[in-house]
Amino acid sequence: MSVILLCVLSLVLAGSGLHGRNASVSHEYCVLGAGPAGLQMGYFLSRSQRDYIILERNAGPGSFFQIYPRHRKLISINKIYTGRRNKEFNLRHDWNSLLSDRPNLLFQRISRELYPNADDFPRYLSTFVKELGLKVKYGADIGRIKASDFNGNQGYILTDQNGVSYQCSVLLVSTGLWVPQQVDFLGSDLVEGYESIPTDPEEFKDQAVLILGKGNSAFETAQSILGRASRIHLYSPSPVRLAWQTHYVGDLRAVNNELLDTYQLKSLDGLVEGRLEDIAIVRREKDGGKRRTLYLTLTELLDQNGNNISKVTGQNLPGFHTDNFSLRQPYDRVIRCLGFRFNFSIFDGSARPPQSSGARGRLPGITAWYEGRGTPNMFVLGTAAHSRDYRMSAGGFVHGFRYTVRAVHKILEQRYHNIAWPATKLPISQLQSWILRRVNEASGPYQMFGVLGDIILLRGSYCEYLEEFPLQALPQLSALSGRPLTDHGLLVLVMQYGLNRTDTLGPGRAESEWTKAWRPNFLHPVLYYYNTLPTEKDMRQRPVGWPLPRPEAVHHMVEDFLTEWDQPISHSQPLRRFLEHCLQTDLRAFYAESCFLLSLTSRTPPLFCRQGYLRKQGIVGNSHLWQHAREAGLMADHHGDITPGHDTSVSEYLKHADAAVVSAMNFDL
């Protein structure tokens, strides 16, 4: 399929060359692709009233989802009932919606299924475009992107199939991944691709099927034919990684894992590991050519000279040499489910981002702030930007990249419009409460754990709270956010999974003791305190498995079974003490009476009294609460500590007693 497409593209390019004089359009921002990432960026650009256009080659948004997943079941969770009404919190369990300021523009309007039908997603995206009035140009198939100099800044010129060129000061590439990943081996032409296999299980009736790959698409395919195929084997280099063990949603989700059951219960299906580059698929005629049968063999067993694999003998098959070789039986079909890669081919050399070092080079290499490496003013968004957190976090998925897109937009606003990263100015006495709020409801750091984190710039008696900054870009914080740093240091709030992943379901998997909070398995908030901004070198040399370099002090908030970090002993107080250490100040709260005492007997009363009581926002409390505090020994009882000898109290009490007696008598009369 990709081959055909490429042919079409080259024809288009040739055509545009012939015409020569075509319309040219210019925009400040060009967003390439109207998938979820492109539309998400479109929303932010439209909200900040920027000159932008979203270019889409198909007739509607999210065309990837018109085809994929082939078996039409989305495995992103659409959890509508959370028992909570907090909209921010609920986004933690809504993996399909895009971010917007419309409270009801959520995916649950389209579908109420936990695992919705794939057709619902493009429908949702259309609704999103329509209700927000996003500027999308459909049918503009960009075949060529080249870098160009616009008044000293690098910009990009995009050319579509009609020869129309778009001049873009800033290019936002959200083309997704749609080129199927292939591996070259002998006989790869005998293999069917995930993109084109039939989805009707009946077509697999009583067939032996070999699937190359062990990801979600491989298992999804297996699951669909499980009831019809006679034997399903899955072959790929690495063993199955289960999402519920690795906490990476790109690994095998339990929704698709029925084959694990039939494998382990010995019901004719199985998983095998081996390199893809070493294998070959060969065809042997059976039953006089009536039935096509395919064998998996190794390149080295084939005749090296002729490359002629039409005449395959038993000698060429592993089973000939090893009688119990696992994959010795023939297959009726071999299916390739190896995922997708980024389409680098539309970029001219000058505009082409390098291949990422990770993810087998399938993705473009980008900086920590999502700008292409070596391609200034071109940013990569969405699934294509997953090289930043490949196999680590959720940046390759809608529920993750909707937040990175928002972060990139803030960076754009700062870089091109000098609008600093939004920050909330908080008095230090309210910082703890604010952190607890974020920890208990924020969806960005929760979904993009280890990648996006809140930054708290300490400024003495107040602080600036920046939400969801890309952590790897921390050394460039000032330039990217437009927020200067002072010598008071900074705090970073990150959600993290534990690092020593033991038996996910075994005993001792959960930690409830807050003093052991740094050794958990589950997602929990972590705070890092730095005196000065970490440098790029610090960042490179950070401890193995850490998202950030070693800080001056660190605080892990113990994982919580309910993900509610609101308990006074296990959560709030340890957090307060950590903040007290970082800020070198007492952050305890005091009742007005205590503040009264401290304000008159100390030249600088504690922060809570200065920022609350002395600003006429004291907390009086009531006698019931004071009683508790006194019993706990935290508040002095000023009524009780009258030292005898200095007072005429005894005689005074007597006088009162008299009065009481007298009045009682009067009453009796």
Partner 1 sequence: VFDVNAIVSHVLFSVLFNEVRYVHTPAELLRVESAAKQNSDIVVSHIPVLGLPEHRALMEAAFVYGTKYQFVQTTGTLVLKHMGVVDPSSSQARLWFLHCKGVSRRSDPCPSIPMRKPLNTINIHTFLQLMEAPLTEAVLDPSDVDVVHMHLGVPVLYLFSQPQTQQLDRATAQTLALQLRGEVGVVLIHRDSPNVKTSLKYNAAYRLPQEDVKYFTLNSAEGVVKLFKEELLQEHKSEEEEEDEEHWSDLDILDDEVSESVYRDRDLMLDLESVIELTSDTFQITVTQNDVTVVLFYFKWDAVCMAFIQSYIEVADALEGMNGVKLASVNCGEWTDILLCPLTYTSLVSNPYLLSSSAEVMSFLEGDLYSKHMYLTPVRVLGLFSSTHDMGVTSFEEAARLLRGETILGLFAHKEAEQWVEGLSVNLPALLVSRSPGVPYEVYSLPSSSPTDLVSLIKQVELDRFPELTVENLPWYLELEKPLLLLFIGKEDSTESTKALAEIKQPLSSGQLDSFLPCWIHLGRTPVGRSILEKYLGFVPPLPVLVMSQLKTGEEVFLFPPERPLMAKNILQWIHDVENGQEQPAGLIPDGKWGPPVPFFDFLAIMDQEAPTYAAQRAPKIKTGGREDHREQKHVTPNQRQTPHPSPNPQAPRQHSEL
* Helices (H), ranges, 530-647: 536-540, 573-583, 592-601, 607-611, 623-631
Q: Which is nearer to partner 1, 266 or 290 (CB)?
A: 266
Residue 388 CB, nearest approach to partner 1 (Å): 8
Residue 309 CB, nearest approach to partner 1 (Å): 16
Residue 229 CB, nearest approach to partner 1 (Å): 19
Coil vs helix vs strand at 375: strand
DSSP structural state of residue 324: T
Q: Among candidates 270, 222, 183, which has minimal Cα distance to 69?
A: 222
Q: Which is nearer to partner 1, 23 or 254 (CB)?
A: 254
3-state secondary structure 387-404: HHCCCCCCCCCHHHHHHH
Q: Which is nearer to partner 1, 418 or 622 (CB)?
A: 622
Ramachandran angles phi, psi of 412, nearest 5°: -60, -45
> Could you give the count of Cα atoms lying within 13 Å of 25 in the half-sphere of its Cβ?
17
Side chain identity at 416, as an amino acid letter? Y
Residue 216 CB, nearest approach to partner 1 (Å): 17
Q: Which is nearer to partner 1, 17 or 543 (CB)?
A: 543
Coil vs helix vs strand at 442: coil
Q: Which is nearer to partner 1, 98 or 142 (CB)?
A: 98
Residue 592 CB, nearest approach to partner 1 (Å): 5
Residue 49 CB, nearest approach to partner 1 (Å): 23
Residue 229, Ramachandran bin (φ over 0: left; ψ between -120 and 50: alpha; else beta)? beta
Q: Which is nearer to partner 1, 114 or 183 (CB)?
A: 183
Residue 82 CB, nearest approach to partner 1 (Å): 11
Q: Which is nearer to partner 1, 125 or 579 (CB)?
A: 579
Q: Among candidates 505, 502, 500, 503, which has minimal Cα distance to 556?
A: 500
Residue 219 CB, nearest approach to partner 1 (Å): 14
Give the number of other CB atoms < 10 A from CB of residue 648: 8
Cα radius of gyration rounded to whole Å, the chain: 32
Residue 484 CB, nearest approach to partner 1 (Å): 25
Q: Which is nearer to partner 1, 140 or 317 (CB)?
A: 317
Cα torsion through 589, 593, 598, 604, rounded to 10: 60
Q: Which is nearer to partner 1, 205 or 516 (CB)?
A: 516
8 A C-beta contact, residue 606 and residue 580: no
Q: Which is nearer to partner 1, 113 or 637 (CB)?
A: 637
Q: Which is nearer to partner 1, 193 or 274 (CB)?
A: 274
Residue 90 CB, nearest approach to partner 1 (Å): 10
Q: Which is nearer to partner 1, 5 or 614 (CB)?
A: 614
Q: Give the C-alpha separation, 294 to 204, whole Å.
A: 15
Residue 286 CB, nearest approach to partner 1 (Å): 21
8 A C-beta contact, residue 70 and residue 194: yes
Residue 499 CB, nearest approach to partner 1 (Å): 8
Q: Are β-strands 142-150 and 153-160 bridged in parallel, bridged antiparallel, or unpaired?
A: antiparallel
Q: Which is nearer to partner 1, 19 or 616 (CB)?
A: 616
Q: Which helix (H) or strand (E) element contains residue 454?
A: strand 452-458
Residue 75 CB, nearest approach to partner 1 (Å): 22
8 A C-beta contact, residue 570 and residue 558: yes
Residue 69 CB, nearest approach to partner 1 (Å): 24
Ramachandran angles phi, psi of 283, nearest 5°: -110, 135
Residues with Cβ within 8 Å of residue 135, at least 6 apart in sequence: 42, 46, 52, 53, 54
- DSSP code string of 64-108: HHHH-STT-B--S-B----S---HHHHGGGB-SPPP-S-TT-SGG
* Helices (H), ranges, 570-633: 573-583, 592-601, 607-611, 623-631
3-state helix, strand, coil split of the chain in percent (to 5) is 35, 20, 45
Q: Which is nearer to partner 1, 65 or 235 (CB)?
A: 235
